[in-house]
Amino acid sequence: MAMASLASSSVLLNLLFIVSALHLGAAAARILSEKEDQQQLQFQYHKGPLLSGNISVNLIWYGSFKPSQRAIISDFITSLSSSPKSTAQPSVATWWKGTEKYYQLIKSAPKPSLTLALGAQILDENYSLGKSLTTDNIVSLASKGAPNDAINVVLTFSDVTVEGFCSSRCGTHGSSVGHGKLAYVWVGNSETQCPGQCAWPFHQPIYGPQSPPLVAPNNDVGLDGMVINVATLLAGTVTNPWGNGYFQGPKEAPLEAASACTGLYGKGAYPGYAGELLLDPTTAASYNANAVNHRKYLLPALFDPTTSACSTLP
């Protein structure tokens, strides 16, 4: 009888041990999962290389862009590396210097550095791939630019539909391996398709507070909206070119240097309000950055990795 009781006690102890182990295992798994979730919510460096060296920004114009429209984007690219002394402040170059903080945080010697310059401009005015493009078509167009030491920027006209355009994105950046490791950006002109989504705050927003739209600094809602998206994606490209650089959230849908601060342009900004901006006394246009050729632009806030906060101009 005593032996039976002892055996029963042993079985009970074993069962308790197994149940406890299962609970501990589940708790450990839960803690690990919560830790991973918390890490995803943090903006962090994922140990991959940033874009560095002397990089050409090549523009591939797809569709019937006017020369004056092309100049709006090309002047913006040129302004990224212009001397701060050559333009009034705050400037596009000053805004772009915010990306240098990402390089300074990398613990390597010597520190990687980056210089951008306007490269080739390739015109495809005859819509060689039609007016309805897939992501593969975008990569194909991007490959018309240099494969190495370059960012190839595909810009599609307002009458071109692109897979995912307006429904889930205003543009994108990515990479492709072919004859070289290609870094590319695509941005669409949303003027007639979804300006409330991709050209805000120069157009009434699709959702949220319906504040009056701002006057576009270059008097072109579509192109001024494209500048915002090109700026956003260039910042994401250099700081997360291959998907293992700086970002927050899942790798498949990362929040990057500028996209982590979407909708913020000036001090005091909040959803539906772009923030305190400069006002051109002649045109009443809103802007926050001066550029070459006396241009003005509205540029998004950049996430400051040293303060973990969004930093705006001015």
Cα 297 to chain center, whole Å?
A: 17
> Which pLDDT value is given to residue 208?
79
Residues forming a β-bridge with 172:
186
Peptide bond into 212 cis (omega under 30): no
> Which pLDDT value is given to residue 23?
53
State the chain's maximal CA–CA distance in angstroms: 102
> Which pLDDT value is given to residue 183?
97
Contact between 181 and 175 (Cβ < 8 Å): yes
Residues forming a β-bridge with 123:
61
Return the CA Rg of the chain.
Answer: 25
> Which pLDDT value is given to residue 31?
46
DSSP letters for the chain:
-HHHHHHHHHHHHHHHHHHHHHHHHHHHHHHHHHHHHHHHHS-EE-SPPPP-EEEEEEEEEES---HHHHHHHHHHHHHHTS-GGGSPSSBHHHHHGGGHHHHHTS--SSPP-EEEEEEEEEEETT-TT-SEE-HHHHHHHHTTS-SSSEEEEEEE-TT-EETTBTTTBSEEEEEEESSSEEEEEEEE--TTT-HHHHSTTSS--SSS--PPPPBPTTS-HHHHHHHHHHHHHHHHHHHSTTSSSEEBS-TTS-B-TTGGGTT--SBT-BTTB--B-EE-TTT-BEESEE-GGG-EE----EEETTTTEEE---
Report the chain's terminal Cα–Cα distance, integer Å.
Answer: 86
- Which amino acid, one-letter code, is at 240? N
> Which pLDDT value is given to residue 251?
92
> Which pLDDT value is given to residue 146?
92
- pLDDT in single tens digits along all 314 residues of the chain: 433 443 444 544 454 444 444 454 555 545 444 444 444 568 999 999 999 999 999 999 999 999 999 999 999 999 999 876 678 999 999 999 999 999 999 988 788 899 999 999 999 999 999 999 999 999 999 999 998 999 999 999 999 999 999 999 999 999 988 767 899 999 999 999 999 999 999 999 988 778 899 999 999 999 999 999 999 999 999 999 999 999 999 999 999 999 999 999 999 999 899 999 999 999 999 999 999 999 999 999 999 999 999 999 97
Cα 88 to chain center, whole Å?
A: 26
